[in-house]
Structure 1
Amino acid sequence: MKRTLLFTIALFIVSQSLKAQTAPPSDIGTIQQEFKKLNVLGSVLYIAAHPDDENTRLLAYLAQEKHYRTGYLSLTRGDGGQNLIGTEQGELLGLIRTQELLAARRMDGAEQFFSRATDFGFSKNPEETLKFWDKDKILGDMVWVIRKFRPDVMICRFPTTGEGGHGNHTASAILAQEAFSAAADPKRYPEQLKHGVTPWQAKRLLWNTFNFGNTNTTSEDQFKLNVGGYNPTLGQSYGEIAAESRSNHKTQGFGSARQRGDVFEYFKTILGDAPKTDLMDGITTTWARIPGGAPIGDELAKIRKDFNDDAPQASVPALVKLLDKVDMDFVNDKAMQTVRLKAGAVEDYTYWHQQKTKDLKDLIAACAGLWFEAYTAEPTYAQDDQMAIRTQVISRNGLNIVLNGLELIQSMDKAKSPASAAGSRPLTHYDLAVTNKDIPVGELQTFNNTCVTGGISQPYWLEQPHPIGSYYIDDDTKVGNPENPDAPKMKFSFLIAGKPMTFYRTLQYKYVDPARGEIYQPLEIAPPVTANITEKVYVFNGPLPQTVQVKLKSFTNADGSVSIKPIAGWKISPERIDFTGKKKGDEWTVAFTVVPTDDRSNTANLDVITTANGKTFSQGLLNIKYNHVPAITIFPPAQAKLVNINLKIAGKRIGYIGGAGDLVPDALREVGYEVHQLTESEILNGDLSIYDAIVTGVRAYNVNPRLAYEQPKLMEYVKNGGNLVVQYNNNNGLVTKEIGPYPFRIVNERVTDETAPVTILDKNNPILNYPNQISQEDFKGWIQERSVYMLNNIDPKYKTPLQMGDPGEGQSNGAVAVTEYGEGRFVYTSLAFFRQLPAGVPGAYRLFINLLSKPKNTVGQ
C-alpha cells in the first residue's frame, strides 16, 4: 500500500490562543490552583492515537481537581482525517489539529505530546498500522516521552482487543503496553540515556473503559472515579471544562454540550498493581516522596493559609524564602544528597525539583503582579534580515524588584545570540523597563533590540521529506514536543526580594485589530522571496500549451530571477524571468508557458526556483486562519503537478452544493468546467436545467441541514432529465435518509488499500464508457484509500458496476450506485474522489468526468 503526500511545508507556530497574552494567567483563581498544584508530586500520562481520542473530562479532573501533572500523548496529529470546516487535508490538516489540541489543553490544564507517527487514513487492523508507522520508531518515541514525563500512572483510551475499531486505536494500546516495560529497561533504547533521561517504571497501566456507540466495555466491578465534580475556584464542573476543551476540535465537528453532575469513569488494570481506593494507591504524591522533603510541604501549606486575596504580593517574601529553601536544602546540602542516594531517589528529586521550582517561580511572579513579554515590531522577517525586538516589563504591586538583564536566546540548547541589555534597573510601582536609549514612551517604555534572523520558520517534524506512516526527524530529542522547542525566546533576569530569578518568553508579534482588539500571532521567518503557483494541478489533454502563473512576494529588498526547473517531456518558456529593485512587501506575477512534448500520458512535478540576493529558494506562501486557533503561515514547496492524460469531456456547466469542504470544484475548473456554487434560493427557485450535472460535496447530507428541504427539488431536477452526483456521506447524522430516488443504506465500510483490485461487473455501463472508456489502468496510482462509507441494502433499481474489497476481506459493490429516474440519472459514489482529484490521479479524473456526463440516449434503454 502506498500513500502520496501533497507536499512538505514549513511553519513556525506558538502555543498561545488567538487573543491570548504571552504571559501565563495571574488571576486569583489561577494563583489558588497553583498553590494546590505545588503541593502535589504525582503525574498521569493518557495515551491514544489521534486528536479527539482523549477523555477531556478525565484530563480536566486529573489536572484541576487532583492537581497531578497530566499529559496527553497523541501518537498522530490527525493528518489523515477529513476537515469539516475547510478544505485543508494531509499535513495542513495535521497542523490545524495540532493547534486544536493545544487549545483544548489550555482549557483542561493538561500538557500535549506527540510521536512521529502520521495518521495515514483509516486502518482496519493494528498489524497494518504498525507496519506503516515503523513500530520500533514509534515505540522509541513513546519510551522517550515516558522517560521525560515520568508518569506514575499511564492510561490508555483503547484496549488491545479491538473494541476501539480503528487499527490506529488498537495499535496505540499495544504500543503503550510494551512501552510501559521498555521505558524501565536500560537495555531498550539506550541511546536516549545520553540525553538527560533515565529509565522509568510507572506504577500501573490502566485502560479507561468506555460506553459509546453500540459498545459498552464498562462494568461495576471495575475501579471507578467520579469525575463530575464542581470546582468552586474555577466556577465550573469538570464536565463543563471538558466540553469547552473538546469543542476546540472543530475540524472534526466535536462541539460538545456542557455536562453537570456526577459522571463516573471506569478503569481496567492492564499492567502493574491494581488501584483499590485511589488512582495513586501505593504512590506518595506529597513532598514526602522526596527524602527530607516533608518540611517543604508544611511550609507551603502555611503560606497558602496566610494568603490574602486582596494583597497577593504579601506572600512573595515567604514564597521566595521557600524557593531559597528548595534550592539550598535540596541542591547544596550534601547530607540530604546522601539520604536521597541511599533511598534511590536522586533522579526523582531532580525531576520534581525542576518541575516545582519552575512552578514556584511562576507563582511568585503572579503574586508580585510582575508582567513581562517580548514581541517583534513586524509579523514577518526575511531570513538573514535584522529583526527588531521589543520587550515590556511592569511591576504592578509595588514590590522591590530589579530587572537585571535581557538576553535573546536563539535556541535553549545552542549558542546564545549577542543581543542583550546590560545593567540593571529597579522597577517601582507601575514603572516599566526603559528602552536601550533610556527614553520612556508614554506609560509603556520598551527595550528595543535587533538580531539577525536564523533559518526559515518550520515545524521540526516537517523539516525533511518523509515516508508514509511517520515523519522523518533528524533530532530525536525534539520528539514529543507539540511545537518547535528551539523557537527564539527572550530571557528575563530579575532580582525579586533579593533572589535572582530567570524567566523565558517566546517571541511573537502582536497588533490591534479594530474589531477584536489586541491579537498575538506567531512570528514568521520567511525566504527573501516566495513563489506561489496559481494551481496545484495542471491537467493537459494533448499537446496544447497552458499558462502557469507564479505570484511572487518579497519580504526584503531583493534582486534576482525566477525560473521553472527543466522537466523531461515538457517544454517551458521562457527559461528565466529577472526582477530588480523589489522592496519589502512588493507582490507581482510572472507567467510561463508549459506544453507536453509528446502525447503520451504522464505526470511530472513542476518546481519554481527563485534566486534572490545571490541565494536560491523554492518555497511558496500560504496562510491558514481560523478564529479558534492561532494564525498559521506556511512556506510550502513552490511546486505543482503536471498531468497529461487522454481525457474527453461532455457537458460544460456544473452546479455544486458545498459539503464539509473539499477541492473538487477547483479540480473540475482546471479541466475546463464552469462550476457554480449553488445557493438555497437557486436550488428552490432557480432553473436547475441549465446545469449538465449537479454535484454534492463530501458529507453534504451530514453538515447541510437545508438539504432535507432542498432534496425534493433535486429529485425533480433528476426526473426532468438532470444528472445528480452525490459524493460520500457519513452514516451517522444524516439530515435525510432519502438521498436517492430509491432506498439504499450508508454503512461504515471502507476499502482502505488504494491498490486493492477493482472488478468491473458491468463493462457496458455508461459510467464506464462515456465519454471515457474506463479500464483497470484507471485504478492505478490512487492515494490513501479507494472508498469510504460504502452502500449496502441497495435497491435492485440501482446498477452497481464496480466491486472491490481490501485483501482478505469480502468484496462489496457499494462504491458506485447509478440509476435512471424519470428522464435523468442519479449517481451515488463513495469513491474517495476528494483525495484523488487534488492529487492529480489521472484515472480518477476520467471516471469522475464520466459520472458527470449523462449520455443523451441511455434513459429508458
Structure 2
Amino acid sequence: MKRTLLFTLALFLVYQSLNAQTSPPSDIGTIQQNFRKLNVLGSILYIAAHPDDENTRLLAYLAQEKHYRTGYLSLTRGDGGQNLIGNEQSELLGLIRTQELLAARRIDGAEQFFSRATDFGFSKNPEETLKFWDKDKILGDMVWVIRKFRPDVMICRFPTTGEGGHGNHTASAILAQEAFSAAADPKRYPEQLKHGVSTWQAKRLLWNTFNFGNTNTTSEDQFKLNVGTYNPILGKSYGEIAAESRSNHKTQGFGSARQRGDAFEYFKTILGDAPKTDLMDGVETGWSRIPGGNVIGTQVAAITKSFSNLTPEASVPALVELLGKVDMEFGNDKAMQTVRLIPSRVEDYTFWHQQKTKEVKDLIAACAGLWFESYAAEPSYAVGDSMIVNNQFVFRSRVPIYSVEIYGGGREILKKMSYDAPMSSSSEVNTLSFNGKGKVPSATITQPYWLDSPHSIGSYTLAKDTLAGNPENPDAPKVTYTFNINGKDISYQRSIVFKYVDPARGEIYQPLEITPPVTANIAEMVYVYNNPAPQTIQVKLKSFTNASGSISIKPIPGWKITPEKIDFTGRKKGDEWTVAFSAGPTETKSNTVKFDVITTVNGKSFSQGLLNIKYNHVPAITIFPPAQAKLVNIDLKIAGKRIGYIAGAGDLVPDALREVGYDVHQLSESEIINSDLSVYDAIVIGVRAYNVNQRLAYEQPKLMEYVKNGGNLVVQYNNNNGLVTKAIGPYPFQVVNQRVTTEDSPVILLDNDSPVLNYPNKITQQDFNDWIQERSVYMVSNIDPQYKTPLQMGDPGEAKSNGSLIVADYGAGRFVYTSLVFFRELPAGVPGAYRLFVNLLSKPAKTAGVGYLK
C-alpha cells in the first residue's frame, strides 16, 4: 500500500491559540483531587489502535475517581482517516489528531502515548495490518511504553477475534497480548534495558467489552464496574467528563452528549488473574506498596485532613516536610536493602519515588499560590540564534521563600536571587513578583520527531527507538526554576512558549517555533503537464534570521530548469519574497518525478518549507515539511472549462482541477438555488457532503433539475451513516460500508464503450497503476438498472463489486456517483486518476439517434 507525504503548503486562516497557560491548574478542586491522588500508587494502561478508540468515560473514572495513574496508548495518530473540518490528510491529519487526543486527556485526566505505527487506511484483517506496521517494531514500542509506564493492569479496547471490525483494531489486541508477556522477558528487546527501564509484568490484561452498532460483546457474567459516578469536587459525573473529552475529536465528528446516571463497563479477562471485586484485585495501591511507605501514607492522610480551602498556604510547611520524608524514605539504606532482595521491586521503588515527588512538588506550588512561566519575546527563532526569554513568577502567599534560581535548558543562569531573611508577603503586600529576561540558545528545529525522516507505508522512522511513546517532542526548550521554600530547594520546569494579546480574544499562548534560517514554500504540490510547454514554479521564501544565500531546484533528468540558482542578500528576519523558476519536460514520454528546492544560507543547505495548521480546539501546529513537489507529465486531454464545486468534509480536489486548467468556482447555497447552473460544464460535490451539509437535502431538487436540463453532476463518496437524504441520484442506489483497500487490486473494465472510459481520454488498465492507499470506499449496492457500471473491483480473496462508479443519463444530462478515492489520488499526482476524473467531468455531446459522440 503506497502513501505519499501529503504536506499541504497552504496557510489556513482559522486562528487558534494554546488552550491553557503553561502553569498547571491550581484551583481548590484540583488541589483536593491531587491530595487524593497522592495516596494512590497504582497505574492502568488502556490500549487501542486510533484516536477515538479509547473509552473516555472509563479513563476519566480511573484517573479522577480511583486516582490511578492512567494512560492511553494509541498505536497510531489517526493519519489515515478523513477530516470532517478541513482538507488536511495523512501526516497533517495525524498532527491534528495528536493534539485532539492531548486536548481530550487534559479533560479526562489520563496521559497519552503513541507507537510509531501509521494509520495507513482501513484494513480488513490483522495480517495485513501487522505486515505493513512491521510487527516487531510496533511490538517493541509497546514493550518500551509498558516498561516505562509500569501498569499494574492493562486493558484492550478490542478483542483478537475480529469483533472490532477494522484490522488495526484486532492487531492492537494481538500485540497487547504479546506485549503483556514480552515486557516481563529480559530476552525480549534487551537493548531497552540499557536505557533506564527494567522488565515489568502487569497483573492482568482485560478486554473492555462493548455494545455499539450491531455488535454486543457484553454479558452479565463478565466483571463489571459502574463508572457513572458523580464527583462533587468536579461537579460532574464521568459521563459528562467523557463527553467533553470525546468532543475534542472534531476531525472525526465525534461531538457527544453528556451522560448522567449509572453506566456500566464490562470486562473479560484475557491474561493473568481475573478480578473479583476490583480491577486492582491483588495489587497494593497504597503507600504500603513500598518499604517505609506506611509512615508517608499516615502523613499524607493527616495533611489532607487538615487542609483548608480558605488557607491552602497553611499546608505548605507540612508538604515541604513530606517532600523531605519522601526523599528520606526512598533513600533509606535499610529500605533499599530490603527492596534489593527483590530486583523487580527496586525499579518499582524508584518509579513511585519519581511520581510522588513530582505530585508533592506540584501541590506545594499550588497551595503556595506560586505561579511562574517563561515565554519568548518573539514567536519564532532560527536554529542556532539566541532567543530572548521572559521569566516571570508571582508568589501569592506568606510562605517564606529564601532564594530563586532560574536556568536555561543548557543550565545557563538567567537569574539568581538570595535573601538573608526569608521573603514572604507582609499583611500589606499580597504578592511577590519578578519579571526578568535572559538569552537561551535555540538548539534544534521544532519539527515533530516522527516527521524528521521519510517513512514507510506502515510506520514512522524514529531517530532513536526510545522516542517511541512520546506524544510530542521531549526536547522542547525549557527553563528550570529552583525555589528555596521553607528552607528546601524545590525545582520545576516550564516549557518556553510565545504569548501575546489579541484585541478580540485576549491573552493567547502558542508553541514556540525553532525554524530553519530560511524556509521555501512551493506554490503547488503537483505540476501537471499535458504538453511540452514549460510552467512557472513559484517559491515563497521566508527568512527567520538575517540571511544571505541562494535558492535552486535540484537538477532533474528529463526536465529543464531555469535559472540554475537565484541569489539573495541582506534579508532581514521576517522578510518574505517570491522567486520563480521555469520547468518543462525535455522528453515526450509520460513520467512523474519529485523535485527539491534547496536553500543555501551561510554555507549550509536546507530544504524545508513552512506549514501552519490552526484550529480553535487545539494548539497551533507549525511544521517544516520537505521543500518538495511533483512534476507529472501525462497524456491528458481536457474538455469543458467551468466547474462548479460544492464543498463537503474537505478535500484538495478543487486545487488539483485548477492545476490542469479548469476554472473552479465554489458554489454557495444562494448560487445553487437562485443562479443559472447551466453555465457550468460540470458540478462536482465534495467528499461526504451528504453527511456534513444539511442544506443539500434542500438543494437536491435544483441539482437534479440541472442534470435534467443537460448538466453533468459528479458526486464523490459519502459515508453510509448520517446521510441527509437517501435520494442522492435520479434513480435509487444504496451507499454501503464496502471498500477496496488494496490500492493495486485488479480493475476490470466492464464496458469498454462507456463514454466515461473514452472521452476525452481513453482509459486502460494502465490508468489504475500507482494509486495510493486504497481504491474505493463506501461503495454502492442495490443499483437501479438505469445506472451503468463500467468498473468492477475487489480486494484479493473477496467478491468483486460494480459499486465504485455508476453513471446514468437523466433527461438531457448525466449523473455520476463514484466512491473511488480521487480525493487522495489527485493531490498525490496519480496520472490515471487525473485522466479518469477529467472524463467524469466531460460529458460528450449527443447526436440524434446515435447516442454519445466520441
Q: TM-score, normalised by structure 1?
A: 0.96
CA positional deviation for 1:334:
1.5
CA positional deviation for 1:428:
4.1
- 2:740 matched to which residue of 1? 751
CA positional deviation for 1:136:
0.5
Instruction: Tell me which amino acid in the other structure corresponds to 2:78.
Output: G
The question of whether the paired residues in 1 share the 8 Å contact of 2:448 and 2:623 is answered with: no
- 1:456 matched to which residue of 2? 445
Cα distance in 2 for partners of 1:257, 1:859 equals 58
- 1:856 matched to which residue of 2? 845
Cα distance in 1 for partners of 2:207, 2:834 equals 45
The question of whether the paired residues in 1 share the 8 Å contact of 2:293 and 2:329 is answered with: no
Label 1:340 to 1:8 Cα distance change in 2 as closer, same or farther (>3 A).
Answer: farther
- 1:180 matched to which residue of 2? 180
CA positional deviation for 1:405:
1.2
Label 1:583 to 1:605 Cα distance change in 2 as closer, same or farther (>3 A).
Answer: same
CA positional deviation for 1:576:
1.3
Cα distance in 1 for partners of 2:684, 2:6 equals 24
- 1:524 matched to which residue of 2? 513
The question of whether the paired residues in 2 share the 8 Å contact of 1:8 and 1:462 is answered with: no
- 1:117 matched to which residue of 2? 117
Summarize deviations over 1:294-350 as a string: whole Å, max 9, x none.
Answer: 12111111111111100000001111111111111221x222222333465222111
Cα distance in 2 for partners of 1:97, 1:43 equals 25
CA positional deviation for 1:404:
3.3
- 2:719 matched to which residue of 1? 730
For residue 501 of structure 2, give the secondary structure of its aligned residue in structure 1. strand
Cα distance in 2 for partners of 1:403, 1:182 equals 48
The question of whether the paired residues in 2 share the 8 Å contact of 1:19 and 1:518 is answered with: no
Map 1:665-676 → 2, pairs under 5 A: 665-676=654-665
Instruction: Tell me which amino acid in the other structure corresponds to 1:198.
Output: S
- 2:219 matched to which residue of 1? 219
Map 1:275-674 → 2, pairs under 5 A: 275-331=275-331, 333-342=332-341, 345-409=345-409, 416-424=410-418, 428-429=423-424, 445-674=434-663
1:148 matched to 2:137: no
CA positional deviation for 1:68:
0.3
Label 1:730 to 1:159 Cα distance change in 2 as closer, same or farther (>3 A).
Answer: same
Summarize deviations over 1:746-786 as a string: whole Å, max 9, x none.
Answer: 11110000000000000000000000000011000100000
Summarize deviations over 1:598-642 as a string: whole Å, max 9, x none.
Answer: 211111112111112222111111111001011111111111111
The question of whether the paired residues in 2 share the 8 Å contact of 1:605 and 1:641 is answered with: yes
1:230 matched to 2:230: yes
- 1:191 matched to which residue of 2? 191
Cα distance in 2 for partners of 1:65, 1:666 equals 49
Map 1:784-803 → 2, pairs under 5 A: 784-803=773-792
CA positional deviation for 1:42:
0.6
Instruction: Tell me which amino acid in the other structure corresponds to 2:336.
Output: Q
Instruction: Tell me which amino acid in the other structure corresponds to 2:178.
Output: E
Structure 1: gaps spanning 5 or more residues: 410-415, 432-441
Cα distance in 2 for partners of 1:174, 1:572 equals 51
Instruction: Tell me which amino acid in the other structure corresponds to 1:838.
Output: P
Instruction: Tell me which amino acid in the other structure corresponds to 1:843.
Output: G
Cα distance in 2 for partners of 1:616, 1:679 equals 45
- 2:209 matched to which residue of 1? 209
For residue 560 of structure 1, give the secondary structure of its aligned residue in structure 2. strand
The question of whether the paired residues in 2 share the 8 Å contact of 1:228 and 1:262 is answered with: yes
Label 1:532 to 1:730 Cα distance change in 2 as closer, same or farther (>3 A).
Answer: same
For residue 408 of structure 2, give the secondary structure of its aligned residue in structure 1. strand
Cα distance in 2 for partners of 1:133, 1:518 equals 42
The question of whether the paired residues in 1 share the 8 Å contact of 2:79 and 2:93 is answered with: yes
Instruction: Tell me which amino acid in the other structure corresponds to 2:817.
Output: Y
Cα distance in 2 for partners of 1:184, 1:253 equals 39
Instruction: Tell me which amino acid in the other structure corresponds to 1:337.
Output: M
For residue 609 of structure 1, give the secondary structure of its aligned residue in structure 2. strand
For residue 325 of structure 1, give the secondary structure of its aligned residue in structure 2. helix
- 1:434 matched to which residue of 2? none
Map 1:130-141 → 2, pairs under 5 A: 130-141=130-141
The question of whether the paired residues in 1 share the 8 Å contact of 2:141 and 2:469 is answered with: yes
Cα distance in 1 for partners of 2:317, 2:457 equals 55
Of 545-554 and 769-778, deviating more is 545-554
Instruction: Tell me which amino acid in the other structure corresponds to 1:486.
Output: D
For residue 507 of structure 1, give the secondary structure of its aligned residue in structure 2. strand
RMSD: 1.6
Label 1:583 to 1:463 Cα distance change in 2 as closer, same or farther (>3 A).
Answer: same
The question of whether the paired residues in 1 share the 8 Å contact of 2:394 and 2:432 is answered with: no
Cα distance in 2 for partners of 1:753, 1:306 equals 64
Cα distance in 2 for partners of 1:328, 1:657 equals 67
Summarize deviations over 1:659-691 as a string: whole Å, max 9, x none.
Answer: 000000000000000000001111111100000
The question of whether the paired residues in 1 share the 8 Å contact of 2:369 and 2:396 is answered with: yes
The question of whether the paired residues in 2 share the 8 Å contact of 1:395 and 1:428 is answered with: no
Instruction: Tell me which amino acid in the other structure corresponds to 1:55.
Output: N
CA positional deviation for 1:475:
1.0
Of 98-107 and 547-556, deviating more is 547-556
CA positional deviation for 1:4:
2.9
1:782 matched to 2:767: no
The question of whether the paired residues in 1 share the 8 Å contact of 2:6 and 2:92 is answered with: no
CA positional deviation for 1:398:
1.9
CA positional deviation for 1:402:
3.0
CA positional deviation for 1:429:
5.0
The question of whether the paired residues in 1 share the 8 Å contact of 2:372 and 2:393 is answered with: yes
For residue 29 of structure 2, give the secondary structure of its aligned residue in structure 1. helix
The question of whether the paired residues in 1 share the 8 Å contact of 2:79 and 2:120 is answered with: yes
The question of whether the paired residues in 2 share the 8 Å contact of 1:818 and 1:828 is answered with: yes
The question of whether the paired residues in 2 share the 8 Å contact of 1:692 and 1:722 is answered with: yes
Structure 2: gaps spanning 5 or more residues: none
Cα distance in 2 for partners of 1:828, 1:424 equals 74
Cα distance in 2 for partners of 1:688, 1:428 equals 75
Instruction: Tell me which amino acid in the other structure corresponds to 1:349.
Output: Y
Instruction: Tell me which amino acid in the other structure corresponds to 2:66.
Output: K
Map 1:44-55 → 2, pairs under 5 A: 44-55=44-55
1:87 matched to 2:87: yes
- 1:171 matched to which residue of 2? 171
CA positional deviation for 1:455:
2.2
CA positional deviation for 1:419:
4.6
CA positional deviation for 1:858:
6.9
1:845 matched to 2:840: no
The question of whether the paired residues in 2 share the 8 Å contact of 1:417 and 1:451 is answered with: no
For residue 846 of structure 2, give the secondary structure of its aligned residue in structure 1. coil
The question of whether the paired residues in 2 share the 8 Å contact of 1:607 and 1:640 is answered with: yes
Cα distance in 1 for partners of 2:256, 2:408 equals 42
- 1:720 matched to which residue of 2? 709
CA positional deviation for 1:444:
6.0
CA positional deviation for 1:3:
2.8
Cα distance in 1 for partners of 2:402, 2:466 equals 35
Of 603-612 and 126-135, deviating more is 603-612
The question of whether the paired residues in 1 share the 8 Å contact of 2:7 and 2:92 is answered with: no
Instruction: Tell me which amino acid in the other structure corresponds to 1:556.
Output: T
The question of whether the paired residues in 2 share the 8 Å contact of 1:291 and 1:343 is answered with: no
The question of whether the paired residues in 1 share the 8 Å contact of 2:596 and 2:627 is answered with: yes
- 1:435 matched to which residue of 2? none
Cα distance in 2 for partners of 1:727, 1:572 equals 37
The question of whether the paired residues in 1 share the 8 Å contact of 2:405 and 2:413 is answered with: no
